[in-house]
Structure 1
Amino acid sequence: MTRSLSRRQLLGAGTALGATALVGGTAQASPASPRSAIPWPAEFPLPNGWGPEGVAIGFGPYAYFGSIATGGVYRVDLASGRGRVVHEGLGRQTVGLKADARGRLFLAGGSSGELRVVDAHSGALIAAHAVGGQDSFVNDVVLTHDAAWFTESFGARLYKLPLGKNGRLGRPETLALSGDWVQSGFTSNGIAPTSDGSALLVTNAAVDGGSLMRVNPRTGVARKVDLGDTTLPSGDGLVLIGRTLYVVQPNSNQVDVIRLNRSGSRGTAIDVIRDDRFDLPTTAAAYQGRLYLPNSRFTTPDRDENTPYNAVSVPLV
């Protein structure tokens, strides 16, 4: 693995799909494993043909990987690298996903235009809402104290699933985006909260070669985050830890690391993570001082039910 602030030339691939995968969009990373002094695996397989895109990690040492191919969810024990399917899927896509403290997984349904909630233990479907309509792509999701927020890649809007008392699920709402937001084809992707909880950070592929937007969750007004000369041409999954934002860029096989101010209105690039094992990683989740990323392999020709997939981990900056 090497780190550098120089930019790699983008691959000739189409824009990858996106999702961030954390509880509430943030992670508390600790330096050592509580289970054992034996190092945990830094790479492990996912099922052949799985088509991974999103990853979520809850409060235990388990990572959940959604499947674009089946809509299922695969759970991996990070201590051993062994896993099993916990949700078979509905034959429709699962892209971004998040885990909450109540043992639920919130799934972004991709081209199905759906928001779904499943039980992380039994895999049972708890709720499903069709929100996107035709030509929709519900891409990524983040949890805040009172809602699950989903991005819509083909429209200037976010979807909100309210969370009431004791985590009660409300009815979906739509928030139209305005202000500096520009919509042009497949535009939005990853989503995270600001560190002060006042706004949402959303990637935008259409503004100035790839930007980060700060969205007011009450009004939908979006303002471009001042990142200086830094652009995010294939900005995908977002991981916020404190005020440090990790931005997965699949087409360049790298993770940009940005230090934000508290409100998320300005930021400075401080590092870039690259690794020879990256094969178009789309999203990331943090646990025990490491980032875990699924390799989407989107540019691999002739992908089918026999195509092997894996996930890798790298140290946090």
Structure 2
Amino acid sequence: MKLPITILGAIVPALTMTIATAGPAAASDQRAGTPPTTLALPDGFQPEGIAIGAGPFAYIGSMADGSVYRVDLRTGRGAVFSRGPGTPSLGMKIDPYGRLFVAGGTGGDARVLDVRTGRILASYRLAAGPSFVNDVVITKGAAWITDSTNAVLYKLPLRGGRLPARPVRIPLTGDLRYGTGFNANGITPTPDGRALLVVQSNTGGLFRVEPSGRTRRVDLHGESLVEGDGLLLRGRTMYAVQNRLNVVTVLRLNAAGTEGRVVRRVGDPRFDVPATVAAFGSRLYLPNARFDTPATPDTPYTAVAIPTPGSARPR
């Protein structure tokens, strides 16, 4: 349906909304013999980031204390896999060596976990003052991490797969200008792999970022990704979570990532401010961060799965 959305005093252009139709609960999914589409998380967990590797396990980070919960996507069963340091665990990615990179939010740090044991392999102090270390992406030569408070990217060079001794701080220059609120958030490579794409949550802009830190606004042909959070790239299709809008926006990009067109926005009745997104099989998995719900030790949380939307514009 056509739906104008008002947020932060601005009107987001009318959009084509597709409502995903997934099973209502894990129990009924299991009776049907299919993997559950709703995953129960511990009460009070406050999920935000999600990462999925080659196996059927999702790793979900807690904003409350930084713990990481591992859930079997075949059964929906899970347990805390790594106890947190008391500061948040936000964006997460798994590299080909079975290492989980975790952005530390207000802790101003990042850490790397062994996905088999939960053991901390390395920890990095990224910022000395106020910060919001938000999301991470793995490329062939590095892990790149955003900071929503400070106009920098943090780079962890991964030469030969070895973890570095210290991070590299790369100032952001060019079109991306920081303002009040959450700035650089989700991050993903461009389709050609030569640069990065970063969404700015407070303005809705998408930016192409050179390895040098030079930024250029991506032409979205009048569209906005306001409240943009996690990003996921598959070929030239990018999935952008617009958290408080409760939608996954599907964009078709050119190879260089300098231009993109929104082809659809997908919602689901089970969305409750989803934050980030990861793919497994034919599904996208999104943790419900519930940012607008008071967080208590008894607040329930879930992650939900939807069919991966195609990149063709709906008729």
Q: Which residue pairs with 1:29 in the alignment?
A: none
Q: In 2, distance between residues paired with 1:98 and 1:311?
A: 17
What is the deviation of 1:170?
4.3
Alpha-carbon deviations, 1:229-274, whole Å to 9, x = none? 1101101000111110111011111111100001110011101000
Asked if 1:9 corresponds to 2:16, the answer is no
TM-score by length of 2: 0.88
Q: Deviations over 1:37-88 (max 9, x none)?
A: 9321111101111110000000111100001111110011101111111101
Residue matched to 2:205: 211
> In structure 1, how many angstroms separate the alpha carbons of the residues matched to 2:3 and 2:308?
19
> Paired residue for 1:24?
none
Superposed displacement of residue 8, structure 1: 3.0
Aligned runs of 1:300-311 on 2, under 5 Å? 300-301=293-294, 303-311=295-303
**Equivalent of 2:308 in 297, 305, 316:** 316
Aligned to 1:273: 266
Give the Cα–Cα distance (whole angstroms) in 1 for the partners of residues 163 and 290 of structure 2.
37
* Superposed counterparts of 1:89-104, under 5 Å: 89-104=84-99
Q: Does 1:67 align with 2:62?
A: yes
Tell me, what secondary structure is at the counterpart of 2:161? Answer: helix
Q: Aligned pair 1:201/2:194, yes or no?
A: no
Q: What is the CA deviation profile of residues 204-225 of structure 1, one whole-angstrom value per residue up to 9, with x for unaligned ones?
A: 235xx411000001x2110000
Q: Which moved more, 1:53-62 or 1:120-129?
A: 120-129
Secondary structure at 2:228's aligned position in 1? coil
- Cα displacement string for residues 99-140 of structure 1 (whole angstroms, at most 9, x for unaligned residues): 122221100000010011111121111111111122111000
Instruction: Provide the secondary structure at the position in 1 that maps to 2:6.
Output: coil
Task: State the alpha-carbon separation in 1 of the partners of residues 183 and 161 from structure 2.
Answer: 34
Q: What is the aligned length?
A: 286
Q: Secondary structure at the match of 1:214?
A: strand
Q: From 230, 233, 245, give the equivalent of 2:226.
A: 233
Q: Does the CA contact (< 8 Å) of 2:147 and 2:185 recur in 1?
A: yes
Indicate which of 271, 274, 282 corresponds to 2:275. Answer: 282
Contact kept, 8 Å, 1:237 with 1:283, in 2: the verdict is yes
1:12-51 equivalences under 5 Å are: 38-51=33-46
The one-letter code matched in structure 2 to 1:99 is I
Structure 1 pair 167–59 and aligned structure 2 pair: CA distance change class (3 A): farther
* CA distance in 2 between partners of 1:172 and 1:269 (Å): 35
CA drift at 1:279: 0.3
Using the TM superposition, name which of 255-264 and 160-169 deviates more: 160-169
Q: Provide the aligned C-alpha RMSD in A.
A: 1.5
1:143 is aligned to 2:138? yes
Q: 2:148 pairs with 148, 153, 166, which one?
A: 153
Larger RCO (CA within 8 A; separation ≥ 6) = 1
AA aligned to 1:287 is: F
Letter in 1 for 2:298: N
SS for the counterpart of 2:105 is coil
How many Å separate the matches in 2 of 1:101 and 1:283?
A: 20
TM-score by length of 1: 0.87
The alignment-based identity, stated in percent, is 49
Q: Whole-Å Cα distance in 2 between the matches of residues 7 and 77 of structure 1?
A: 38
Q: 3-state DSSP class of the match of 1:8?
A: strand
Q: How many angstroms apart in 1 are the aligned matches of 2:179 and 2:201?
A: 8
Q: 1:57 aligns with which of 52, 55, 58?
A: 52
Aligned position for 1:87: 82
Change (3 A) 1:241 1:250: same
Amino acid at match of 1:152: D
Query: Would you say 1:293 and 2:286 are equivalent positions?
Result: yes
CA 1:205–1:310: 2 relative to 1, 3 Å: closer
Matches of 1:162 and 1:220 in 2, distance apart? 15
Q: Any stretches of 5+ residues in structure 2 without a counterpart?
A: 10-31, 310-315
Check whether the contact 1:71–1:90 (CA below 8 A) recurs between aligned residues: yes
CA distance in 1, matches of 2:285, 2:142: 25
Within the candidate set 187, 191, 216, 2:187 is matched to 191
What SS does structure 2 have at the residue aligned with 1:9?
strand
Determine the C-alpha separation between the residues in 1 that align with 2:225 and 2:2: 13
